[in-house]
A and B are shown apart, each in its own frame.
Chain A
Amino acid sequence: MAEELFMRDPTSEASSTLRAPVPFPPDITGKTIALLDIAKERSDEFLDTLETRFTAGGFIVKRYRKASNSKNAAQDIVQAIVSEADIVVEGLAD
């Protein structure tokens, strides 16, 4: 089932076959930053530190938390971040 399959490229092939990440915003002044806690041990400590520093820097910070570090974020969390924030930091732990 996990064999590698392929499709043919329908484009002019002017870009890489790898999907490009979303470009980083050129100016983040005044942006709203979402801190996503992945629910792993000490994730919150790391994000608390970031929140303190971002807030001191004049950013608006919103906090979100996954139900479990072993699963993807629930759809309502993803949608909340997309609609409420400009940038997301997904926090690690350990």
Chain B
Amino acid sequence: MANEADGLIAIVKRDCPTCELVAPVLQRLKDTGVPFTIYTQDDPTFPDGMDGVVDDTALEQSFHHDVEFVPTLIRREKGAEVERAFGWNREDWEKLTGIQGLGEGLPENQPGCGSKSVEPGVHELLQARYGAVPMKARKIAYSGWDDPVEQAFSRGWTDGLPIVPPTDERILRMLQGTPRDPAEIVGIIPPDMKECTVEKVAINAVMAGCLPEYMPVVLAVVEAALDPKFCMHGLLCTLSYSGPVIVVNGPITKQIGMNWGHNCLGQGNRANATIGRTLQLIIRNVGGGRPGEIDRAVFGNPGKFTYCFAEDETDATCTPLHVARGVAPGRNAVTLHQGHGLTSFSDNRSRTGEELARSMALQLVNDIHPKVVQTPNVILCISPEHYRIFEQDGWDRAKIEDKLHEYTTRPGKDLVQGAHGVPEGVSPEKMKDMMPKFWRDHGLLIVRCGGTAGLLSAIIGGWSGGRNHDEIQPVTKEF
């Protein structure tokens, strides 16, 4: 393009009625003898019968000329573009060419069509192929005979499931999901304590299968995980089962189609599945945290592939989790919990808030061990049908929490080491105390979610590291 001659340039495609319309005009311009290059995007034989048409089915020239519509007519002088016209407009074309009487018999004006070079996903492909890219990550070459998915496996980049190969066009598309500079450092990733840029986040998001519009959530998740209070390093190293569990709140959950309803903790929703997976891939790839190495989990849990869901905020009577934790209503936020697994809670007979809270408490006290207290923080996922029982009795989030804390507080004599013939338990000096199961300020996170039918709720257990009340807590990050 740098050496392109002065004169006229037209970019056209056969699959455009306006390009078909102006074909006789193009022929007339050609016949004037002015230097005239015609690039055709979809059919090298179009316009029919015209000599010297340049095949641009690879769209390289269309990309370099930044063409958005066809036909586009450009005039160049002294090595630079001086004027361009889009679609067919007699006045514009006559002014640009300096030739009067163009397109006799044609309408005065007819809009053109979209250029093939700006069709969805195409521009980034062309940018990767012909343009400058902002990515700094080093290139890992592979032969056209190789399967890039298998290459990723063999390089240890995956969590055991196939990844989407992080090619430049995919990374460029992912970076469109955030206004942040690709070179910006998001944080230092444990355990290797390596810098993680927005670009590295995007690369791993591509691999996890994210869409670009998930990027604001993904970036907030990474930043929340790096909050010292979340203790990502310790959570990775632990013998315990736990990993990051992500709850997303705010308008963005609806905008990107997250699942807070039926099967919200299960498979099948792209945003839920890939946002959680991206964090795990970043820990693995950028941070170097791999199972059997620094990750010393005895069992782990299936949620270490991904564990991410949204809260159902459709019931105005229920204060959302992020608002309860200090974020303004209508704002977006992620809350990260150090958690694992799922404990079922099915109660079909409670009909009052009082009955249901007492019933839930029986199950809540069992996390980690029935006689261990003030150690795990848990998420209690309350289904809409269970929530309705509280709501009918006029209980709001604060009252539900109060009652659950009250009913999960038990006499020390039942919990001390040796009580009921079980050595595990709290210190003998707590014999006469009343012992709360959970820390009052952050030990019990309630999330309203799940399918609309079923008197079921669910408990997402917590990491034993939660016993360090001041150092290790769930983290909420607004974005």
Asked whether A4 lies within 8 Å of B142 as measured between CB atoms, the reply is: yes
A49 at the interface (CB under 8 A from B): no
Contact B166 A14 (CB under 8 A): no
> Is A79 interfacial (CB 8 A cutoff)?
no
B212 CB, min distance to chain A CBs, angstroms? 16
The reply to whether the CB of B203 lies closer than 8 angstroms to some CB of chain A is: yes
A1/B145 in contact, CB under 8 A: yes
Taking the nearest CB of chain B, how far is it from the CB of A32, in angstroms? 22
> A10, B203: Cβ atoms under 8 Å?
yes
Residues of B within 8 A of A17 (CB): 138, 140-141
Which residues of B have CB within 8 Å of A29? none
B225 to chain A, nearest CB (A): 16
The docked-state distance in angstroms from the alpha carbon of A73 to that of B344 is 48
Query: Majority SS of interface residues in chain A?
Result: loop
User: Does B226 count as interface, using CB distance less than 8 angstroms?
Assistant: no
Q: How far is the CA of A1 from the CA of B143 in the complex (A)?
A: 8
* Mask: chain A, 1-37; 1 = CB below 8 Å from B; 0 = not: 1111111111111100101000000000000000000
Would you call A5 and B171 a contact (CB within 8 A)? no
Q: Does B374 reach chain A (CB closer than 8 Å)?
A: no
A73 → B minimal CB distance (Å) = 17
Take A4-B142, A19-B154 as given contacts and tell me if A10 and B207 are in contact as well, using a CB distance cutoff of 8 Å. yes
Q: A1-B145, A2-B145, A19-B154 are in contact. Are A9 and B140 (CB under 8 A)?
A: yes
Contacts of B203 in A (CB 8 A): 8-10
Which residue from A5, A9, A11 sits with its C-beta under 8 Å from B144? A5
Q: Are A2 and B168 in contact (CB-based, < 8 A)?
A: no
Q: Could you tell me the distance between the alpha carbons of A70 and B285 in the complex, rounded to whole angstroms? A: 36
User: Are A10 and B148 in contact, CB atoms less than 8 angstroms apart?
Assistant: no
User: A6 contacts which of B141, B194, B195, B281 (Cβ < 8 Å)?
Assistant: B141
Q: Would you call B48 an interface residue if the criterion is a C-beta within 8 Å of the partner chain's C-beta atoms? A: no
The distance in angstroms between the C-alpha atoms of A75 and B143, with both chains bound, is: 23
Return chain A residues, CB-CB under 8 Å to B141.
4-6, 17
5 A/B residue pairs, CB under 8 Å, sorted by A? A1-B144, A7-B139, A7-B140, A8-B140, A11-B285
Task: Give the 5 A-B CB pairs with smallest separation, nearest first.
Answer: A12-B194, A6-B139, A8-B137, A10-B285, A10-B203
